[in-house]
Structure 1
Amino acid sequence: MTEYGPRPVDRRLPTDEARQLMTLVRDLAAREIAPTAAAEEEVGRFPRELFTLLSESGLLGLAYAEEFGGGGQPYEVYLQVLEELATARLTVGLGVSVHTLACHALAAYGTKEQRAEHLPAMLGGGLLGAYCLSEPAAGSDAASLTTRATRDGDTWVLDGTKAWTTHGGIADFYTVLARTGGAGAHGITAFLVPGDAEGLSAAAPERKMGMKGSPTAQVHFDGVRIGDARRIGEEGQGFAIALDALDSGRLGIAACAVGVAQAALDEALGYVATRRQFGRPLADYQGLRFMLADMATQVTAGRSLYLTAARLRDEGRPFTKEAAMAKLFCSDAAMRITTDAVQLLGGYGYTADFPAERYMREAKVLQIVEGTNQIQRMVIARHLAGPESR
């Protein structure tokens, strides 16, 4: 089994501060995350203490302004940090990505007073966030959600059920999209709901094929009452806020996918360098060398793709199409690379004694979350050829 961290870090980091940050992240990942990843994933344990450590280290708010307790780092740097965390353990990398997604609505659309009140604790106060958009009958068609928020004076009352919520039941706050008007995308509003709100509860976590350490659960809102001060943006603006957040969130998924793919490549490289068959190291066989070359090429291409989109975002330029391309390519590549890693390890790749099979199971979900890859193709095609005529 190859330990996390043997490869050199070859990063295009823009500042000395960013390079020092990456050194900190790799040291933390090697010391605190990677050693327990396999054992904790096997029993389905969520490492909440690691997220407290990440918060104390300033790693839960990297992409947000220092004014509100964030790290003030460009997305280009944040995503590379995310990749390193996912290489050590996807539950941690994806968890940071989801937390960052949950903070986006308030950071981008909240009032100055709302941001001053809530963001410092969300970004650096040890809190953990979750994002509630999908529902049991509204997955890819998020505009058809039915969770409703009804106004009652200066308060709102939320009723409904959200599905596939990462950190559902353990989050300290939830960014919730709920219907406040008529049908369709224009009747949706965003809210910030505290995790201990009366009437909020979570179902038992889903039993998943991978990422067993990351709880995914339905979240129920039964007469949850919150003040209008927790409404984010204008009434009816919620769907636009959600789409804006998902553009950035998809880049997080792309970076996590490259992290898993890199971990699988490292494992395969370590194995073929030491395993001997017919008197020669496996690494001497051209067929296997070509597989490794293809795997490494896909990892590097995926990293370049998500960084290109991140730089567009950092420059304030449109990046929706590029984010969809990055999420599509990187997650599909991760699925191919982890499958090839299992193949290169032969029978050992199919056993839980080596992490290759875990990487393969984990890679699958990255083709589904934050918009399936079929949805990504629709987004890309609309930017290329315009909306469908119907």
Structure 2
Amino acid sequence: MSRTPYPPSYYAASANPAPDRPPLQGAVETDVCVIGAGYTGISAALFLLEQGYRVTVLEAAKVGFGASGRNGGQMVNSYSRDLDVVEKQVGPEQARLLGEMAFEGGRIIRERIQRYGIRCDLKDGGVFAAVTAKQLAQLEQQKKLWERYGYHQLELLDTDAMRGVVNTELYAGGMLDRGSGHIHPLNLVLGEADAVESLGGVIHEQSAVLQVEQGEHPVVRTVQGQVRARFVVVAGNAYLGDLLPPLAARSMPCGTQVVATAPLGEELAHSLLPQDYCVEDCNYLLDYYRLSADKRLIFGGGVVYGARDPADIEALIRPNLVRTFPQLREVQIDYAWTGNFLLTLSRLPQLGRLGSNIYYSQGCSGHGVTFTHVAGRVLAEAIRGQAERFDAFAALPHYPFPGGRLLRVPLTALGAWYYQLRDRLGW
């Protein structure tokens, strides 16, 4: 049987030791079968195990193989579309619930790290960087909006203060979120997977799901086995494929690119990011970066709609890296990789139910590190019969992409080009 390894990323090269978990073989019965061993699936499994459920997790490749083990490692609050957009779509009670959950993910991650002793290089603090005065004014409005929902860990930064956070002349200012932070993303999910197993959960890697038979007791089939369960949690996100066509029709896989430089050394690294915060800019197609524990600059950005792997990732990322930090013009790139995330038309996550006992969460649209941990808790609550918060997400309107499967990529890319042009012109 062929085995799918991790992609050659910095995270895979620096991951904590992890066991090879055997593929599913034969027939198994459990309370909950989770499809996907990324943040969403592992988070849901952990919450369910803490409540006494029996849980079996099926993963097509390795724990954290997808976006959970390849992302920029930034813990960013709220959703890919902010709460002002949510407020325009839903009633006040639904908006209140969604607003409260917008700042919960980072707390869950910190609780998990402390409770289970997870070694993932947690560092506190993240910065939204404004390239233009207009973006800085938008950050001022964002601060007021988040504070209206009871979140008071934000500090606006003028041009001089911003230079004390990131050593570049690129930004007009920014906003510090002290409740944000950054982690080694693969080590986080590996640590959470260890926690799942410590509570009696079972994880099968190299166990791609071929079929989900719905019914009173759903059956999830792989090449070599099957799991019969009371409930199923579908957490495949951008790597789910067409396993469940109703989910694929309302979302689109997209690729983002990340590079890691050679180690910069303490002095140069400190000169670039003196506070060791992570940073993301406010452009529509944004850049994001941070320092690793061994003082590499991890720099990502760009979107490839339809999730094609670019031929030369470094050529896509290096120009923006150098534009941000001209002092790194000659820096060596040691690692370059791509990973897929799942985009929805609304840019808001999709949670729902197929039938009475198949639950799903998908479409974080680039804000997955924190939201997936909220989703895991909300899915577990719904399975336990406490569905108020689940229903707040499930009631969000979601639509198929214009043009269907054939035209969704070019039409979305055209829209992104328009917003990118606005960023460049400062509109």
**When the two structures are superposed, what TM-score results if normalisation uses the length of structure 2?**
0.25
Higher strand share: 2
